[in-house]
Amino acid sequence: MTAPVRYQYLISRTGDIVFSFTVGTLAYFTNERDNPRAKNGKTLVELMSRRRQRIVDRREQRRLAKEEQ
């Protein structure tokens, strides 16, 4: 009995990347559209923006604390 054929790619080398990117993007937008939290100002972009702002604020507070010493 011969060994089963093992494929390296589902579609093709670049097709797999394009396919996965497309599916991920569509899943993200579907989730953003249907998610009730996203409709209340909690979209992924807004959450990431707030997180980034907190990091910048903490960094600024540490810098000011070092300058005061």
Q: What are the CB-based long-range contacts (under 8 Å, 24+) for 45-51?
A: none
**Per-residue pLDDT band at 61 (split at 50, 70, 90):** very high
CA distance 39 to 28: 14
CA distance 51 to 59: 13
* Through-space distance between the first and last CA atoms of the chain, rounded to whole angstroms: 77
Q: Tally Cβ neighbours within 10 Å of residue 19.
A: 13
pLDDT at 20: 93
State pLDDT tens for residues 9-48: 788 888 999 999 999 989 888 887 877 776 677 777 888 8
